[in-house]
Amino acid sequence: MANLSPLNKSQHQALKVKVDPSYAHSANSHVTPISVFELPQVQAEYPIVFIKDAETGRFHLVALLGLKPQENLFHKKEGWNALYVPQHLTNFPFVLSSSVEQPNNFVVGIDLDSQTVSESDGEALFTDTGEQTKYLVKVTENLARANSQLNATQLFINTMVDKSLLSSQSLTIKPINAKEFTVTGLYSIDEEAFKDLNDADYQELKDKGFLAAIYSCLFSTQRIAKLISLSEN
């Protein structure tokens, strides 16, 4: 469990964060959340899929990092094995949060238990006089940008569900030197259902600016071969 704490200069003035190019905190994650605005970059590196929360029934837009639970094929000790890193990973160990009492008042939080956080090594968060460093200002800007994209991402997901464009996907993987296995629990955009949309629904997707996002999702299925290759090396 993360030990999240709202940042404040009185308690955390001495804190530093060491940038981890391997994003080790994600080593046991086979998916990571992504924004609809990231899709052009993500589709060039990762398969884009949807997963369904078993408790709430809500769908989430994610990049597939591995073919099995707790498998991340992009995490390497020497660095991340892709040119683009999803912003959910790069924002760690920081989060933007709000309280129930003040839902529109966001504060920057930090995972104090992260191995990247210490008082001895890394990027300082506050100056000697208690002002935010350029590093923390940039972090805050990145978090605010990611937060501003949540509504558009959720609208995209909801629209895919409303138009019945998501279908369950099972991937049968046949590794060269291992036993065949099946990946389940994933959903993808149904290309045939997309092709069969009536003119009104297609125009609605176009008006919402979702056509490019849909094509990014469809094109990204070619990256499954990359995951298979990574799993065999």
C-alpha pair distances (Å), 214 with each of 174, 211, 224? 28, 5, 17
pLDDT in tens, the chain (233 residues): 688 999 999 999 999 999 999 999 999 999 999 999 999 999 999 999 999 999 999 999 999 999 999 999 999 999 999 999 999 999 999 999 876 566 677 899 999 999 999 999 999 999 999 999 999 999 999 999 999 999 999 999 999 999 999 999 988 887 777 788 888 899 999 999 999 999 999 999 999 999 999 999 999 999 999 998 898 87
Tracing tokens 């094509």 back to the chain, one arrives at: 215
- Give the model's pLDDT for residue 171: 84
Q: Which residues contact 49 (CB under 8 A, 6 or more apart)?
A: 31, 62, 63, 64, 169, 186, 187, 188
Give the domain ranges of the chain. Answer: 4-232
Do residues 13 and 130 make contact, with C-beta atoms less than 8 angstroms apart?
A: yes
- 72 closest CA partner among 233, 231, 232, 183: 231
Q: What is the pLDDT of residue 106?
A: 85
Q: What is the pLDDT of residue 198?
A: 97
Query: pLDDT tens digit string along 141-196?
Result: 999 999 999 999 999 999 999 999 999 998 888 777 778 888 889 999 999 999 99
Residue 54 burial (10 A CB sphere; 0-12, 13-18, 19+): exposed
Query: 28: which residues sit within 8 A by CB, 6+ positions away?
Result: 70, 71, 72
Q: What are phi and psi of 102, to 5 degrees?
A: -130, 75
Residue 92 contacts by C-beta under 8 Å, 6 or more apart in sequence?
23, 25, 26, 111, 114, 116
Question: DSSP 3-state assignment of 119?
Answer: coil
The distance in angstroms from the start CA to the end CA of the chain is 31
Three-class secondary structure of residue 154 per DSSP: helix
